[in-house]
Structure 1
């Protein structure tokens, strides 16, 4: 009788682990989310690569209508201080360290983009759980 009970409990445990692991886990791959419309002439995007459920690479940036990257903007083309080349790498590191949208720390001097990366990361996470590597377009909050 004890053997039967032990086998039954083991079977239930195994089935529950399989059920929990399937639908909510992150699938390996690169997932991208971007805003549908530009904000202040820039369209922000976030690409995140996962391997074994862990973030291995993050690319956050924005493009203007000519395809120029915000991370490459100069003081002449981007009138705010600090320059994006200073805070974008830190924001990318914060995404990688946090691992999830609700834990991403903001970067001083980049309040708007810090909020944007959280929104885009939430969309990336949804795509990664579904294993959908198509670029997802996110409605602008403005």
Structure 2
């Protein structure tokens, strides 16, 4: 009798783990989220964006950056002379990309010290990308973050 109870409990536990693990499945494809025009305006004209490509349910490629109205990328354009920020975007953007890749939970993305706003935007964009990927919707998600 104890053996049957143990087997039954094991089955219940196994089914529970499968059910929990299956609730957040992304569909393979490329998904993008970007700040709304109003949020970009509040961000001094820089529009943050995140593009993630999933293959076999895992991140194959990830690109987070910010572009201005002329199409300049913050990670390439910003220098200490024209963008006085420490750390420089060329340092914190790649770090933030690695932090995004490290977790599938936007709330658990580690922020980069000195880039709090960029980190907050990346988390909001990542959440929108995951929602799109779970639905298999490849249209661009527009995210309005309150500043």
Fold in common (TM above 0.5): yes
CA RMSD of aligned residues (A): 2.1
Which aligned segments of 4 or more residues in structure 1 are displaced greater than 2 angstroms?
Answer: none
Matches within 5 A, 1:1-142: 21=22, 24-37=24-37, 38=40, 39-72=43-76, 73-142=78-147
Shift of 1:127: 0.1
Render the CA deviation track for 1:8-38: whole Å, top value 9, x for unaligned. xxxxxxxxx79x95x7410001110001121
Render the CA deviation track for 1:33-72: whole Å, top value 9, x for unaligned. 0011211221100111111111121100001111111001
Shift of 1:135: 0.9
Unpaired runs of at least 5, structure 2: 1-17
Unpaired runs of at least 5, structure 1: 1-16
Q: How many residues align?
A: 127
- TM-score scaled by structure 2? 0.79
Asked if 2 retains the 8 angstrom alpha-carbon contact of 1:46 and 1:120, the reply is yes
Asked if 1 retains the 8 angstrom alpha-carbon contact of 2:121 and 2:145, the reply is no
Render the CA deviation track for 1:63-119: whole Å, top value 9, x for unaligned. 111111100111222111111000100100000011221110001111111111110
